[in-house]
Structure 1
Amino acid sequence: MTAQENMIVHRSRFVEFSAGNITALAFSHKSDAQKLTPSELRLALGRSDGSIEIWNPRENWFQELVIHSGRDRSIEALCWRNVPGEALRLFSIGGSTAVTEWDLATGLPLKNHDCNAGVIWSMAINECQDKLAVGCDNGTVVIIDVSGGPGCLEYDTILTRQEARILTLAWNKDDYVIGGCSDGRIRVWSALKGADDRGRIIHTMKVDKSKKESTLVWSVLYLPQSHQIVSGDSTGSVKFWDWDHATLTQSFKTHMADVLTLTRDVAGNSVFSAGVDRKIFHFQRNHNGAQKDAKWVNTSNRLIHGNDVRALCSYQSKGADFLVSGGVEKCLIINSLSAFADGKYRKMPLLASISKNMIINREQRLVVSWYASTVRIWHVGQDFDGNNNYRLVCKMVLKDEQNITTCAISPDGQVLVVARPSLTKLFHLQPLETKLKVTKLDNSLLLRTGCSLVQFIDNSRIAACSTDGELFTVDLESDQDDEMSLIELPEVPQTKSSAKIPYMNKINHLVVGGDLLVVGRTCGAVDIVNQTTNESRPLVRLMNFITAMLLNKERESIILVTAENKIYEFNLKSGKQHSSLLTDWSKNNTDNLPMQLQKSTDKVLGISYTESDPNMVWFWSSSWISRINFSQDLPLSNRRKAKKHDRDGLTITDDSNFMDDLADVEDENNLELTEALQFLSSHTRRFKPEGTSKSKDEKSFFFTDKYKLIYHADLIAEKELIIVEKPSQAVGPHHKAVDLPKLLF
């Protein structure tokens, strides 16, 4: 940035943000070291606030989907069912008597199956993935049959009840259920259908007693290769038990506090344990001769968490080698499983989602943030030298049980839309001295329509995507508040990935500019809608995940950033002069992006610009901010291109990609894009962007990583950039700028 620009940066550390602890982790596929990584591999992450996140481990990991739950809910365990010919199914439990199956296409519960056996504490799925075992606080293990297809959960049987709460469960293939209990015992039930002893307890093993309190067995694991059970308990011990004789073979008092979670590698030669003392320990089998006599050795440990570790999970294939962990620290941490002792690890940013929880209103200089069922609105002043340049002007708490999915504010800052999975509410905002007067507005259509995305077209009209995936517009000032205008989008051909993952063709981006809407889907399909005529047409099928999208009205273009941090600009102009899909700038620069962007593992989460200066486009991630001048070419880089995948074991390195289905899809937009990309790789600098300026006062590229833990960034005025960072400890509940009573709606 040059001194002539005088860009003012508001470093906003007053916006509160919180997230639930990580309580559950589960990979969608079983490890197989002999196979390539499937393109459908996903990680499900559950939090104590009831939300579920779906992560894709490609391109240094990115978050594809967030499922919002309700008030006072939590996710205590997650299980996938993954069988050929059927879409992935996800089950969860959390502080209730029911098992929930989620509809991944809508983000809503598909089925809540009540087990009628007390609050459920644990859950595990068998090897064939047709039976779920759930452990309850009344000592019951209930077997549920899930083989009937999506939404079908049927009672199978109840295993012999005992008196202790069942804290953890594991299966030995499809034949036996292993449970860790609150009385310090490990019990094994026979679960094979048709067996004479089905339902009976066939083994009981007892761990060491604590002198002060009863011992809890928090985690159990079965090792098929060595026919052993591994347990972790509240005394900090990790124990290895012989399956055949139900006897203790080895015990390690490694942890200083409770061992909450265990996982293993695909070969069964490594076991990892973690818990309250924050450390992850690695145990390895030392063969040294006969396989039968192999002993376990505590080989290493690492302290990479800042607080309790609640969940561990691992996955291995030819191109993947992951040990993932999470807990009270809230951040997902990625390790290399085979290079655990001295390999690199990465903490994922706490806010790494494309589904934002913050928006900026430029006209009224408002910052709107939301979490769970609470909306906070801040006013940012223009007293740049003062200490009180911000003030909380509104705090709303919604009484509904569901958590907020998205919000939108009108350009004039007077109407606020708050959406939940099954209903959407409108509020009128009126400035009143040092706060906003909030009035609820009635709209019967929106009150019965849940939305996942909402954008204002102007001050009185909105475009929205319903939870069911329908795109529509609504005139908020119409006398007929029951009317919506539905928009039919071009169909996206079904592929192997979209058949396996229900949300692949779901809308996850919606941007508005003038009379155009731009719609992006998880699979990388982008469509253009003329909202005055409701006509739609496909723009491009990228076959890559889009992390950020911007409609630049003045340049008549759409700017997209993919998960590999590649920036594309596509033409909206018509005519012979602009018949190409890619703009001249994109042809010259998409394959010549600066090394800071190519090497960054943090994804671009947002793009912004001002109408007075449309060529200056800002990009931000959770750790850096950049500005690119689209009227100039970027400087040519003589360095080697960044490697597509690093070899540190923290991302997928084989040939599998986001969607291994391009050959299955025949679409003229794919062909057009393929030709354009081939052009990029074989041509350089044949075109000169319009209005090219070679002024030394305007750099073509600016980059800074001085701001850390960025929650949001946007232009709040022409020469004013607001960067919302991690809150300062100095701003507490009694600070006068945040002292405001909450409004209940």
Structure 2
Amino acid sequence: MLKVHRISSVEWNPSAVVALATSADGSQVAAARADGSLEIWLVSPGSVGWHCQLTIHGDPNSRVSSLVWCRSGPRGGPLGRLLSSSIDGSISEWDLFDLRQKKVLDSIGISIWQIAAEPCNDLQINAKQEMKSYDNGHASPSITSGVDDDENSESEDEDNDKDPAELEHNDAENTCLAVACDDGCVRIYSVSDEEKLTYNGTLPRVSGRMLSVTWSLDANKIYSGSSDGFIRCWDVKSAHEIYRITVGLGGLGSGSELCIWSLLALRCGTIVSGDSSGSVQFWDGQFGTLLQAHSYHKGDVNALAAAPSQNRVFSAGSDGQVILYKLSSDAVGSSGEGFVPEAVKKWIYVGYVRAHTHDVRALTVAVPICHEEADLPPDEKVKRIRGSKKPLDFSYHKWAHLGVPMLISAGDDTKLFAYSVKEFTKFSPHDICPAPQRLPMQLVLKTVFNQTPLLLIQAAHWLDIYCVRLKNCAASDASPGPSGGHVGTDLVARVKCKASRKIICSTISSLGTLFAYSDHVKPNLFELKRNKSSKGSWTVNKRQLPQGLPFAHCVVFSSDSSRLLLAGHDRRIYVVDVGNAELVHAFTPYRKDGGEDLPPSEPPITRMFISTDGQWLAAINCFGDMYIFNLETLRQHWFISRLDGASVTAAGFTPRNSNILIVSTSSNQVYALDVEAKQLGEWSMRHTFSLPRRYQEFPGEVIGLSFQPSSSSSSVIVYSPR
């Protein structure tokens, strides 16, 4: 029986999530972490499981304070432009095609606490049509009728008829960005198709720090929250203060020590605030009067979010709770004959969920599932094998369907959770990333050092190489099965990145003699030697690489360790002879014939796999397209578009047949591709669309493939973070 061996000497310290934002179309969620990295999460077509499509390694010295996805002309595309503010006073745009962070506003010398994008044009038009009358601080019954009807509570009523001419005129305008600054000012910038933001003006300075900011739905007003305990309503055109609200009157805190951490402006005109006393308060947006106050949090309220229908509000705070408030109607007045009771709408506390173990920093709402399996009825999709123990995601599959809004929370415990907006307290939250920021590892079994296995582990700022000692079993025996206990490891070498730069990618050769990594500046190559004179002593020497190589998103050695392949950030793939440090060739991936002579236009390559015989290179871009290169002829052989529209999560060439590439997608489909024949392999033609029931019930997303070293074995081992 094959056994699994455990290593306990690896340090794993994922970074906290500090901000979330949802794309303009509601399908994708961006998560910014404290270490400067940004992740894009989505649900692949035909699936309900979340998938981290790409990661961008930003500036680790510039802490993100706020994240917003805004629309701005043709440059933004359907997703919009993703912007972040920083404590150092700068604003950056995250380029999801080139995988890089670029500053669109240099530091203003003052910390930025939050940014808010002007509502998109269709929402502004709807706001003008809907905000007609108010009743006790809430929209009229015609706007929010049926708020207690579970069937209608999450229905979308935003698609009203619009004047095409008005839409076209508004689309031509630039989106404005409100910036809450530490000096007590709200600065306003325009987000255009230019590289940099354009300064528009500044609202008058207040006594405290500006901590939160939001726009009214018609974009005529800005609401700001500060550290002096006030919410202020500003007229955007005149830059004058319309009114101010003393927040401490309704909550637990008071005076200048009260911080307004979060603000939310609802479609009906209600303003919601969350503050440092743990209070969530609902205010009349027209007059600034208090409607309701709730103090269920036991610490600061860090984030607020609203359902798409705007009749449910969620709050999250430093106590780890996520709380739901719902808009309900109470009948007030005489019920005698001839009298009709008046409906008074109130925001009531519904319940809480505590999935996080530490502070919750951010909330957002998304509608990520674009479509499901059309050939299966809904009842079929959620069936599970009966047994004493249900899968971890059993309840998630009951409510995660097409068009269902999801609440996403994240915080200091590094986790992201998804909740049903409509049935928040009924189902358990779904753990989106069970193993956040997994450490990249690579094990080489039969090295030149007396066949001793070596393990390369990539940390944020250094590489560790361990010598692996397997007790009473061969190295090739390490595969799924009963636990074989702990494995002995000895640290052979630790190579730290210069100036604490963040390592993007790394690799070790099959012989164990060479290893390489790339940071945001350049790639680096090293040679590992074992000293014969001193027992147990190892030496690391730096090797030269050709001048002018760009930093890489992925690096890999050829099967015979003679060549190093680098997927550069300039979207080319470089082949380097490590013996004489010469550039052998540079591939330019392309989709159509003749593209090799054109400038690079494809998305960056983030994964590469080489066949065991060294003939084939499979390169995969950040969106899941594949390019097959022949390393003997040094030409691109085949282009494969995204399989069923899903991203590639794992791949590898089989040892048994170097022409067969096994691919797993984010929809947990498995394909066997015959790269030489440029077609699906024989196995895929028979099994891809009729995978065993046991595999269909596989918990979580497949994130890796492993093959038995024997060339006679035809089995593939798949694994997930669950």
| TM-score with structure 1 setting the length | 0.74
Q: Which residue number corresponds to residue 154 of structure 1?
A: 198
Residue equivalent to 1:520 = 620
1:591 is paired with a residue whose SS is coil
What residue in structure 1 maps to residue 57 of structure 2? 68
2:38 equivalent to 1:48: no
Q: Is the 8 A contact 1:117 1:140 kept in 2?
A: no
List aligned pairs for 1:3-18, cutoff 5 A. 3=1, 7-18=2-13
**Letter of the structure 2 residue corresponding to residue 377 of structure 1:** I
* Structure 1 residues 137-183: Cα deviation after superposition (integer angstroms, max 9, x where no partner): 1112111111234x231212111112311222211132222222112
* Structure-2 change in CA distance of 1:212 and 1:142 (3 Å): closer
Alignment deviations for residues 670-700 of structure 1 (CA, whole Å, 9 cap, x no partner): xxxxxxxxxxxxxxxxxxxxxxxxxxxxxxx
Report how far residue 132 of structure 1 moved.
Answer: 1.3
Post-superposition Cα deviations, 1:453-495, rounded to whole Å, max 9, x if no partner, equal: 111013231111111211121112225x4x35111323269xx
Could you tell me how far apart the structure 1 residues matched to 2:680 and 2:68 are?
43
Give the superposition deviation at 1:600: 3.1
Q: How does 1:566-605 map to 2 (within 5 A)?
A: 566-574=669-677, 581-605=679-703
Take 1:183 and 1:614, find their aligned partners in 2: how far apart are those partners? 72
How far did residue 212 of structure 1 move? 11
Q: Relative to structure 1, is the Cα distance of residues 597 and 148 closer, same or farther in structure 2, using a 3 angstrom cutoff?
A: same
Could you say if the C-alpha distance between residues 262 and 389 of structure 1 is closer, same or farther in structure 2, counting changes exceeding 3 Å?
A: same
Residue 589 of structure 2: which of 486, 489, 493 is its match?
489
Q: Which moved more, 1:361-370 or 1:117-126?
A: 361-370
Contact 1:281 1:300 in 2 (8 A): yes
Alignment of structure 1 residues 209-228 onto 2, 5 Å: 210=253, 214-225=257-268, 227-228=269-270
2: distance between equivalents of 1:179 and 1:422? 40
What is the match of residue 449 of structure 1?
550
Indicate which of 626, 629, 635 corresponds to 1:535: 635
Q: In structure 2, which of residues 307, 313, 325 is the aligned counterpart of residue 271 of structure 1? A: 313
Aligned 8 A contact 2:15 2:34 in 1: yes
| Cα RMSD (Å) | 2.7
Tell me which residue corresponds to 2:440: 357
Question: What are the within-5 Å matches in structure 2 for residues 363-402 of structure 1?
Answer: 363=447, 364-384=452-472, 389-400=488-499, 402=501
- Mapping 1:638-677, distance limit 5 Å: none
Please tell me whether the aligned partners of residues 707 and 717 of structure 2 are also in contact (alpha carbons under 8 angstroms): no
Partner SS, residue 232 of structure 1: strand
Say whether 1:308 aligns with 2:359: yes
**Alpha-carbon shift at residue 521 of structure 1 (Å):** 2.8
Change (3 A) 1:311 1:165: same
Q: Structure 2: how far apart are the matches of 1:538 and 1:356?
A: 31
SS in 1 for 2:688: helix
Residue 679 of structure 2: SS of its match in structure 1? Answer: coil
Q: Is contact 1:492–1:505 with CA below 8 Å preserved after alignment?
A: no
Cα distance, 1:75 vs structure 2: 2.2
Equivalent of residue 459 in structure 1, options 561, 570, 576: 561
What letter is aligned with 1:469? R
Count of residue correspondences: 586
Shift of 1:377: 2.0
2:112 & 2:37 partners in 1: Cα distance? Answer: 18
Q: CA deviation at 1:547?
A: 1.0
Pick from 692, 706, 710 the counterpart of residue 612 of structure 1: 710
Identity of aligned residues (%): 27
Separation in structure 1 between the aligned mates of residue 536 and residue 253 of structure 2, nearest angstrom: 58
The answer on whether the counterparts of 1:115 and 1:142 sit within 8 Å (CA) in structure 2 is no
1:352 touches 1:622 (CA, 8 Å); kept in 2?
no
Task: Give the Cα–Cα distance (whole angstroms) in 2 for the partners of residues 523 and 137 of structure 1.
Answer: 38
Q: 2:579 aligns with which of 472, 477, 490?
A: 477
Instruction: Label 1:453 to 1:547 Cα distance change in 2 as closer, same or farther (>3 A).
Output: same
Q: Which of 21, 24, 27 lines up with 2:19 in the alignment? A: 24
- Cα separation, 2, equivalents of 1:444 and 1:582: 38
Letter in 1 for 2:70: R
Task: Report the residue type matching 1:255 in the other structure.
Answer: H
SS of 2:64's partner is coil
Change (3 A) 1:325 1:190: same
- Taking the aligned partners of 1:534 and 1:356, their CA distance within structure 2 comes to 32
Contact 2:571 2:602 in 1 (8 A): no
Partner of 2:322: 280
Quote the Cα distance in structure 1 between the aligned partners of 2:660 and 2:110: 57
Identify if the C-alpha distance between structure 1 residues 30 and 295 changes in structure 2 by more than 3 Å, giving closer, same or farther: farther
How many Å apart are 1:390 and its aligned residue? 1.1
Q: Is the 8 A contact 1:63 1:352 kept in 2?
A: no
* Cα deviations by residue, 1:304-339 (Å, 9 ceiling, x for unpaired): 222211111112486131101011121110111111
Map of 1:669 onto structure 2: none
CA distance, structure 1, for counterparts of residue 602 and residue 426 of structure 2: 37
Q: 1:492 to 1:95 in 2, by over 3 A?
A: farther
Structure 2: distance between partners of 1:270 and 1:453: 44
SS for the counterpart of 1:85 is helix
1:111 positional shift: 2.8
Name the counterpart of 2:505.
Answer: 406
Q: Secondary structure at the match of 1:587?
A: helix
1:564 partner SS: coil
Give, as a single letter, the amino acid of the residue that structure 2 aligns with 1:270: R
Q: Is 2:275 aligned against 1:233?
A: yes
The CA distance in 1 between the partners of 2:67 and 2:352, in whole Å, is 26
Which residue of structure 2 lines up, in the alignment, with residue 325 of structure 1? 409
Matched, 1:179 2:224: yes
Would the aligned equivalents of 1:561 and 1:604 in 2 still touch at CA under 8 Å?
Answer: yes
Distance apart, 1:286 and its partner CA: 0.8
Tell me, yes or no, if the aligned pair for 2:73 and 2:193 is still in contact at 8 Å: no
Deviations 1:696-724 (A, max 9, x none): xxxxxxxxxxxxx5xxxxxxxxxxxxxxx
In the alignment, structure 2 segments of 5+ residues that lack a partner are 121-173, 332-340, 369-401, 473-483, 594-599
SS at match of 1:131: strand
For 1:508 and 1:344, how far apart are their aligned partners in 2?
34
Using the TM superposition, give the Cα deviation of residue 361 of structure 1 relative to its aligned residue in structure 2, in angstroms: 2.1
TM-score (norm 2): 0.76
Secondary structure of the residue that 2:713 maps to in structure 1?
strand
The aligned residue for residue 137 of structure 2 is none
Partner Cα distance (2:65, 2:720) in 1:
28
Per the TM alignment, residue 450 of structure 1 is displaced from its structure 2 partner at its CA by 0.7
Shift of 1:109: 2.2
- Residue 241 of structure 2 corresponds to which residue in structure 1? 201
Which residue identity is paired with 1:215? L
Write the distance in 1 (CA, Å) between the matches of 2:529 and 2:574.
Answer: 27
Structure 1: tracts of 5 or more residues without a match: 32-40, 494-501, 575-579, 624-708, 710-745
User: In 1, Cα distance between the equivalents of 2:298 and 2:362?
Assistant: 17
2:170 aligned partner: none
Residue in 2 that maps onto 1:552: 654
